[in-house]
Amino acid sequence: MPFMKIKILFIIMLLFGVSANASQFIPEPREKPNYEDFANWLAGFRVQAISYGISDELMARVLNWQKPDGEVIRLDNKQYKSDMTLEEYLSKVIDQNKINKGRKFLRQNKALLEDVYRQSGVEPEFVVALWGLESDYGNNMGNFSVINSLATLAYEGRRREFFEKELLNALVILQQGHISMEEMQGSWAGAMGQCQFMPSSFFNYAVDYNGDGKVNIWSDREDVFASIANYLKTVGWDSTKERRTETLMHWNKSSFFVASVFKLAGEIKDEDL
């Protein structure tokens, strides 16, 4: 996609009231984790989880061995300011290697992506672009335990209600047998799989495309592609460029990220398939 089109897209995003500031504020860090306090939080959470339908057996097997992860808290409390321009951001997240891999995967998965497109209306290049930006086409899903990260963030308390709900959803995913705890890896913030869904997004948008009874966004490419497309379809995707910009903001509220999706999708589609 020519850079002038990216600039035009960026103007469109500003018209929707989207901030172009890449800076982010995170509150002052807490002290180092207190394991006794964590045990007290866990005891209270256990009551909530059991009332939510989580089995005693799963709670004992999964949560009793968790400890607050200092690295997760450090990353959550990390304060930084980025003065990157849009051009600098795009050059950082999209290089020729990422474009080439996107074009290759678009060709390799053409039949599957076209079938997903027929069902969802989401063009293949946007599915592949989101896949590439979120997890480098499945090569970088994160190596944190989703359960331990979410338990740590819920205990930390800065956004306790949000992360307790995400932890409850993650436990339901395990209880339903979609994935094992050992395989349930993701980012430090609990985003999971090749499309980096939070557990609540997993239940809202992820789909069992191949009908094997499991929704597998970690290693099943069919489920990954269909889940990405279903997310966009559900939040209002259509063929209008302005509407696509608005819809992508549901996925990630960063205007720079949205611009990167359009750029990578455009570069991937430029190849004659």
Identify the CATH number of the domain defined by range 3-13+31-77+101-269. 1.10.8.350
Q: In this structure, what are the phi and psi dihedrals at residue 160, rounded to the nearest 5 degrees? A: -60, -50
pLDDT at 66: 81
Give the distance between the most distant pair of CA atoms in the chain: 60
**DSSP label of 79:** -
Tell me how far CA of residue 231 lies from CA of 16, 69, 224, 252, in angstroms.
Answer: 21, 30, 11, 12
Query: How far is the C-alpha of 177 from the C-alpha of 127, rounded, in Å?
Result: 26
- Ranges of the chain with pLDDT below 50: 3-4, 6, 8, 11-30, 272-273
Query: What is the sign of the dihedral through the CA atoms of 83, 86, 87 and 92?
Result: positive
pLDDT for the residue numbered 7:
52
Give the residue among 82, 109, 1, 102 at the shortest CA–CA distance from 256: 82
Token couple for 81: 């300011």
Cα 44 versus chain centre, distance: 28
For residue 75 the two structure tokens come to 């990353």
All structural domains of the chain with their residue ranges: 3-13+31-77+101-269
pLDDT confidence of residue 12: 44
Q: Which pLDDT belongs to residue 32?
A: 56
Q: How far apart are the first and last CA of the chain?
A: 16
Residue 33: the pLDDT is 59
pLDDT score, position 79: 56
- The pLDDT of residue 9 is 54
